[in-house]
């Protein structure tokens, strides 16, 4: 491990604004003038309905701020089990803060079954925007149990959901092994210890400080990241071309405590087998814990995800994992245990 490189750490500033509230239509069936849900004509999902919940619109100067707390109910109209869905939510295509996304990973929805996707998001659009619905909700992608995908993939959700589902399959197999080797108590302890792992959130802003950056080796990774006198270097050690690399980060604060960070967007690359390339990490990262900024002393990076040109992905085996926050599947399993108990957790692990 070395620490010769430097990375800027950013801090964010939020300014309060005076606000006047305007209620959106509170009806359980959202009128087209408020929110329009659009699915492709050949979509494997069909729309059952939507509900606005406690969504509200607030005028702030010349902007309309939409706090959406709604949900969309869909049906799996295909022939494969749905494992994840990502929706694109748009109030204004070009305006800052005008669009976002919501994803629901770690599902297991058989054909003909309905499911609900909560949408809790804040969007901004000009008050004088043109006519039509305030918000459009569109399908960006759906992933199935065989890792096949459907959708326009404008947000690269295929990559993200493939990573999530591959991790879910890995994690479920691991916890089944824990149950077999250590019994109910061992399974419970393992699930709770992972769910309790603290992490720091990631934001972006203007660089404000420099911190030491080290690299941690992951021997099984198809891509090696190393320090060089000229910066970080990627080397494709696999036999397949690589098009995307995502790093994981471990943050050390001024008190010497270390925490894994929540995911940070990766880097598109074009690495042929054996090829080397310079790697420049994001230089404007800010970390927070419990809503408060973390005074970062050092960062340690490691290879977390790799995507090959053919769409297949690499995630580390459990024995090769560096400290990371719980995966979406681990969070879901912990929630099953907390709400329903150990018997429900074991049944869930053995379900598929």
- pLDDT tens-place string over residues 147-174: 999 999 999 999 999 999 999 999 999 9
E runs forming strands in 77-206:
82-90, 99-104, 114-126, 135-144, 149-150, 201-204
The segments of the chain whose pLDDT lies below 70 read: 1-33, 128-131, 204-210, 281-284
Could you tell me if 143 and 37 lie in one domain? yes
State both tokens at 187: 């399974």
Residue 17 lies in a domain: no
Domain span holding position 149: 31-154
23 lies in some domain: no
- Residue 70 and residue 107 in one domain: yes
Residues 6+ apart with CB under 8 A from 130: none
User: Are both 171 and 226 inside the same structural domain?
Assistant: no
pLDDT of residue 7: 37
Domains identified in the chain, total number: 3
Do 94 and 176 lie in a common domain?
Answer: no
Residues 87 and 174 occupy one common structural domain = no
pLDDT of residue 17: 34
Q: Give the pLDDT of residue 209.
A: 62
Determine the 3-state secondary structure of 341 from DSSP.
coil
3-state helix, strand, coil in the chain (%, to 5): 20, 45, 40
* Residues 222 and 315 reside in one and the same domain: yes
Within a domain: residue 19?
A: no
Show the beta-strand stretches assigned E in 91-194: 99-104, 114-126, 135-144, 149-150
What whole-number distance in Å separates Cα of residue 179 and Cα of residue 349?
A: 9
pLDDT given for residue 40 in this prediction:
95
**pLDDT value of residue 26:** 41
pLDDT 10s digits, 294-338 = 888 888 889 999 999 999 999 999 988 888 889 999 999 999 999
Same-domain check for residues 169 and 111: no
Does residue 25 sit within a domain?
A: no
Q: How many residues does the chain have?
A: 352
234 and 246 co-located in one domain: yes
Distance, CA of 118 to CA of 188 (rounded, Å): 28
Query: Which residues, in sequence order, are CB contacts of 295 under 8 Å at separation 6+?
Result: 253, 254
Pair 80, 118 in one domain: yes
pLDDT for 240: 96
Whether 26 maps to a domain, the answer reads no
Task: Tell whether 242 is covered by a domain.
Answer: yes
Contact between residue 91 and residue 135 where contact means Cβ atoms under 8 Å apart: yes
Cβ neighbours, 10 Å, residue 7: 22
Distances (CA, A) of 96 to 122, 126, 171, 181, 320: 12, 10, 37, 51, 39
- In angstroms, the CA 255 to CA 297 distance is 9
Kindly report the number of other CB atoms within 10 A of residue 161's CB atom: 27
Read off φ and ψ for residue 245, nearest 5 degrees: -130, 130
30 backbone dihedrals φ, ψ, rounded to 5°: -75, 130
**In a 3-state reduction of DSSP, which class is residue 331?**
helix
Q: Which two tokens stand for residue 102?
A: 């919501």
One domain for residues 174 and 206: no
Tell me the C-alpha to C-alpha distance, in Å, between residue 94 and each of 123, 124, 128, 130, 138: 12, 11, 14, 13, 16
Residues 220 and 304 in one domain: yes
177 and 124 in a common domain:
no
Find where tokens 């406690």 sit.
Answer: 54
């Amino acid at each position: 491990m070395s620490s010769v490189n430097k990375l800027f750490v950013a801090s964010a500033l939020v300014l309060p604004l005076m606000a006047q509230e305007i209620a959106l239509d509170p009806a359980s069936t959202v009128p087209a003038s408020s929110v329009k849900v659009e699915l492709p004509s050949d979509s494997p999902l069909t729309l059952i309905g939507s509900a606005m919940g406690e969504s509200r619109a607030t005028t702030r100067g010349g902007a309309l701020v939409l706090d959406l707390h709604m949900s969309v109910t869909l049906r799996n109209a295909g022939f494969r089990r749905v494992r994840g869905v990502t929706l694109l939510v748009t109030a204004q295509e070009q305006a800052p803060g005008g669009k976002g996304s919501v994803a629901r990973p770690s599902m297991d929805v058989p054909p003909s079954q309905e499911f609900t996707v909560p949408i809790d998001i804040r969007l901004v659009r000009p008050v004088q925007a043109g006519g039509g619905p305030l918000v459009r909700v569109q399908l960006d992608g759906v992933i199935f149990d065989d890792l096949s995908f459907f959708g326009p993939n404008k947000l690269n959700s295929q990559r993200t959901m493939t990573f999530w589902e591959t991790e879910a399959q890995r994690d479920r197999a691991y916890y089944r092994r824990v149950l077999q080797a250590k019994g109910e108590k061992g399974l419970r302890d393992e699930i709770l210890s992972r769910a309790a792992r603290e992490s720091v959130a990631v934001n972006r802003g203007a660089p404000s400080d420099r911190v030491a950056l080290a690299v941690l080796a992951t021997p099984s990774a198809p891509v090696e990241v190393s320090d060089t006198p000229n910066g970080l270097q990627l080397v494709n050690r696999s036999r397949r071309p690589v098009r995307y690399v995502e790093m994981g980060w471990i943050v050390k604060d001024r008190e010497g405590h270390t925490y894994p960070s929540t995911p940070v967007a990766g880097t598109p690359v074009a690495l042929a087998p054996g090829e080397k390339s310079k790697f420049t990490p994001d230089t404007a990262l800010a970390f927070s814990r419990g809503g408060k900024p973390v005074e970062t002393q050092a960062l340690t990076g490691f290879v977390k995800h790799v995507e090959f040109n053919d769409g297949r992905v690499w995630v580390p085996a459990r024995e090769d994992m560096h400290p990371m926050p719980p995966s979406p599947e681990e969070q879901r399993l912990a929630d099953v245990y907390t709400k329903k108990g150990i018997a429900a957790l074991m049944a869930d692990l053995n379900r598929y």
